[in-house]
């Protein structure tokens, strides 16, 4: 079986997680090439409860809400978003951070590969939905510092997670 997967390592090279993408879009024939994964990839990194989602998975508010309600504070989202769908890189990743009051680290491909133009826009987004740092279109290494105390501050002011519990 072939999976679209993201491997997460700690600073010593030890594997922390191997996330296999569950939601496979029909674009680029992903759903024809790969086998869907199952389960969520949630790990602790330096005291921060972290989940991995790959590309298209970030576009499902229900998934990110489920992870947030499970206490996830940081979403890691490796992505291969082309310039055909700019809303994902420009708005959706920020919306997921804002509507859940959590951090999102969005790492997108950049440049051209096999005729596909990737739009870059890698960024770290705060729980207020605003960029902490943004690589824009170029290939860059970015480092964004996060403070989990911001999560409580934002969630107290905008209690989306708490209020969403009344929808069930």
- Domains by residue range for the chain, with CATH: 5-167 (3.60.110.10)
Kindly state the helix (H) or strand (E) to which residue 98 belongs, with its residue range.
Answer: helix 93-100
User: Over 70: is that where the pLDDT of 140 sits?
Assistant: yes
Say which residue the tokens 């969520």 belong to: 40
User: Over 80: is that where the pLDDT of 129 sits?
Assistant: yes
User: Over 80: is that where the pLDDT of 28 sits?
Assistant: no
Going by their DSSP bridges, the two strands 74-79 and 48-52 should be labelled as parallel
- Taking each helix axis from N to C end, the angle separating 93-100 and 61-69, rounded to the nearest 10 degrees, works out to 40
Using 50, 70 and 90 to split pLDDT, how confident is the model at 96? very high
CB-based contact 52:8 (threshold 8 Å):
yes
CB-based contact 24:4 (threshold 8 Å):
yes
User: Over 80: is that where the pLDDT of 49 sits?
Assistant: yes
Distance CA(86)–CA(121), nearest Å, equals 9
Distance CA(29)–CA(116), nearest Å, equals 14
| 16-20 average pLDDT score | 97
Going by their DSSP bridges, the two strands 5-9 and 41-45 should be labelled as unpaired
Using 50, 70 and 90 to split pLDDT, how confident is the model at 59? very high
Angle at 143 between CA 141 and CA 148, to 5 degrees: 155
pTM for this model (two decimals):
0.94
User: Over 90: is that where the pLDDT of 83 sits?
Assistant: no
User: Over 80: is that where the pLDDT of 82 sits?
Assistant: yes
| 114-139 average pLDDT score | 94
The predicted structure's pLDDT at residue 168:
67
Token pair for residue 61? 């508010």
Angle at 153 between CA 150 and CA 159, to 5 degrees: 120
């Amino acid at each position: 079986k072939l999976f679209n997967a993201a491997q997460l390592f700690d600073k010593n090279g030890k594997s922390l997680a191997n996330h296999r993408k569950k939601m496979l879009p029909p674009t680029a024939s992903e759903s024809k090439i790969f086998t869907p994964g199952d389960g969520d990839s949630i790990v602790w990194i330096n005291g921060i409860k972290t989940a991995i989602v790959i590309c298209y998975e970030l576009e499902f508010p229900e998934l990110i809400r489920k992870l947030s309600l499970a206490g996830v504070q940081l979403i890691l989202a490796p992505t291969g978003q082309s310039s055909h769908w700019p809303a994902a890189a420009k708005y959706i990743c920020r919306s997921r951070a804002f509507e859940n009051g959590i951090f999102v680290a969005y790492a997108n491909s950049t440049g051209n590969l096999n005729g596909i133009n990737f739009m870059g826009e890698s960024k770290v987004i705060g729980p207020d939905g605003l960029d902490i740092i943004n690589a824009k279109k170029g290939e860059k290494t970015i480092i964004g510092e996060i403070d989990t105390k911001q999560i409580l501050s934002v969630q107290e002011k905008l209690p989306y997670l708490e209020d969403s519990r009344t929808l069930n």
